[in-house]
Amino acid sequence: MDALSKIFADIHLNHSEYIYLKTQGEWSFICQDQTALIVHIVLVGSVFIQVDGQNSLTANAGEIVVIPSGKAHTGADNAITKLVNAVDISKFFDGHKEDAIEFGTESSEKNLILTVRCQIDTLMARPFIQALPTLIHLQHGDTSTPEWLQIGLHFLALETQNIQAGRDIIIDHLVNILLIKCIRDHIQQISDQSGWLSAFNHPELSNSLAAIHNHPEDAWTVETLAEQCCMSRSKFASLFHEVIGESPLAYLQQHRMRLASQYLRKSNYSIQQIANKVGYSSETAFSQAFKRTFEISPKQYRQQYIQNET
């Protein structure tokens, strides 16, 4: 599996909840901070989205806006509409909502926005979210909407409106496909050759990332990772640090610890089994490495998570 596909699998992008926003005239909404990824799909009309009072854009029909971090943001009919009576849409995320949420002043100008909240493993997704921009805008400019997006949006709209067996899993998969395509297109447009995201398209480094993410349990060294890229040890180590900003083994260590935290939270594996899965034969060595990263032992981490969930 290529590195990007494995990362999407690891962050557990699933459990999509959606709402329809049916607006007209002058209108605005606010979405509070979410520990999830937020997507606005404009089906009819347009929306002005702003995050942090700085990053903003206008998306038109057939376009998608992704907010990877789930940061608090606002939406409105335009940039000058006041947000005094903004509708808080956060409270409407409770499973799937077939009935549209209608608001705005009387007008013949109608807008329809499909807003999706996707749950993710925020710890596993941290480097991913940090590397992405605050807003991702999939737009078509002066050209027609790409065929894949037309088909995807049409299929998604049909599934959200039809109550049939298997609908939830189909919606989850459709949203996954749309998001992966959006982010893949964004990565392909990156002009800067340095940075974590650019490494996925790097002709030499991508193999080492795929090796680390697919087989974190292997006893990787700089030499064996360099072999995956058909490079010398020194050239690989230098290039890896230049592009990604840290050494290969430091990157490997951080990925292993994030993966271990996921196993502790989401599985019933013993500490020794988790240690083996992230490349440690010794439970003691693993526990020491984990504590250096998270400041508590694996056992304490698991207990703390269980207590917070109950």
- Structure-block tokens of residue 199: 């490494």
Fold of 3-188: Jelly Rolls (2.60.120)
Exposed, middle or buried, 6 (CB in 10 Å: 0-12/13-18/19+)? middle
CATH topology of domain 198-309: Arc Repressor Mutant, subunit A (1.10.10)
In this prediction, residues 127-131 reach a mean pLDDT of: 86
DSSP 8-class letter at 296? S
* DSSP SS3 for 52: coil
Let me know if the fold of 3-188 is the same as that of 198-309: no
The neighbouring-strand residues paired with 47 are 59
Q: How confident is the model at residue 160 (pLDDT cuts 50, 70, 90)?
A: low
Q: Which two tokens stand for residue 23?
A: 């607006």
Residue 289 pLDDT = 97
* pLDDT level of residue 159 (50, 70, 90 thresholds): low
Distances (CA, A) of 51 to 31, 33, 60, 77, 223: 10, 11, 17, 15, 43
Which residues is 118 bridged to in the sheet?
16, 37
Torsion sign (Cα): 237, 238, 242, 246? positive
Q: What's the mean pLDDT in 84-98?
A: 80
Under the banding of pLDDT at 50, 70 and 90, the label for residue 10 is confident
Cα end-to-end distance, the chain, whole Å: 36
Nearest alpha-carbon partner for 220 in 208, 230, 232, 207: 208
pLDDT category at 142 given cuts 50, 70, 90 is very low
| Residues with Cβ within 8 Å of residue 153, at least 6 apart in sequence | 41, 43, 62, 145, 178
Residue ranges of domains in the chain = 3-188, 198-309
Percentage of residues in the chain having pLDDT higher than 90: 50
Q: Are strands 36-44 and 110-119 parallel, antiparallel or unpaired?
A: antiparallel
Give helix then strand counts, H and E, for the chain: 11, 11
d(CA 45, CA 56): 17
